[in-house]
Structure 1
């Protein structure tokens, strides 16, 4: 049985001196901090919520909020929880498809690193991960949006 999950997350971005976290990594070429309760990794939030949806569970905020986690917690904690849920329910990942919408900076140089890290975090092959980026045609410099689509299945790999 195959199951599809989809999610979108969006965060306001602020130019600060720290490096931004995207896809579980700090990026020097991404000098923005996302305004969020956690570490602000909008990509991992979108991706993990897509997995929750594929498993028939609730949105990310149901499980990760001020009552369940301290401020600035790492989104890698969410990834670990998702991996446990997938294993407990006997699901495997078929593929991950991610679209990042951001006006600046251009993500061309960091997309391969993000793809490698997502494959590593979720224990899958590179050809099971797609990372795409687009702009808003100069209509939105204040937000980053990430759309994630996942396909999971039960049974043997």
Structure 2
């Protein structure tokens, strides 16, 4: 077995939605990012890459590479899933926590779990998506951005 963890953060900017876990979530702002800025998927990718000892998302999809401008982060997750399989691992489970004051994550968590499970070729029962606030403290508490952390357990096939 291998364990990995990941973390991602993006500042809010212009827009009317954010992508979270592959789901378009209406919001009064968007995020500032090179790709679609999906903090859930970015943290999850980093957790998988970390568990495989294969670096981080920036090494696989450098922000300096224009091919990834405005990219759908689901392709990053599918790449991470393919690397898992190539190295002989399957997802045991993934646990993701979104840190923000808004938007509310609960109404979208099930849809996120479905998307993540599909892209990771996993059962939905192996994927957890939950949220917390920072009680109005820090950049997330002031509504300046959003963060996510993820932990994965990979099992050798």
Using structure 2 for the length normalisation, give the TM-score: 0.90
Superposition RMSD on alpha carbons, in Å?
1.5
1:58 to 47, 50, 55: 55
State the match for 2:95 in structure 1: 97
State the match for 1:49 in structure 2: 46
Q: Gapped runs of 5+ residues in structure 1?
A: none
State the match for 2:104 in structure 1: 106
Structure 1 stretch 40-49 or stretch 19-28: which is displaced more? 19-28
Q: Distance in 1 between matches of 2:94 and 2:28?
A: 26
Alignment of 1:7-86 (within 5 A): 7-14=6-13, 16=15, 18-28=16-26, 30-65=27-62, 66-67=64-65, 69-86=67-84
Q: Distance in 2 between matches of 1:46 and 1:64?
A: 13
Structure 1 stretch 63-72 or stretch 106-115: which is displaced more? 63-72
Q: Distance in 1 between matches of 2:67 and 2:43?
A: 18
Q: Gapped runs of 5+ residues in structure 2?
A: none
Deviations 1:45-101 (A, max 9, x none): 000110000001111111212237341112122112112111111101100000100
> What SS does structure 1 have at the residue aligned with 2:106?
coil
Q: Distance in 1 between matches of 2:106 and 2:155?
A: 31
Q: Distance in 2 between matches of 1:90 and 1:68?
A: 31
> What SS does structure 2 have at the residue aligned with 1:94?
strand
> What SS does structure 2 have at the residue aligned with 1:69?
helix
Q: Distance in 2 between matches of 1:94 and 1:82?
A: 14
> 2:23 touches 2:108 (CA, 8 Å); kept in 1?
no
Give the number of the structure whose residues are more often helix, by fraction: 2
Superposed displacement of residue 27, structure 1: 1.9
Superposed displacement of residue 31, structure 1: 4.0
Change (3 A) 1:31 1:144: same
Using structure 1 for the length normalisation, give the TM-score: 0.90
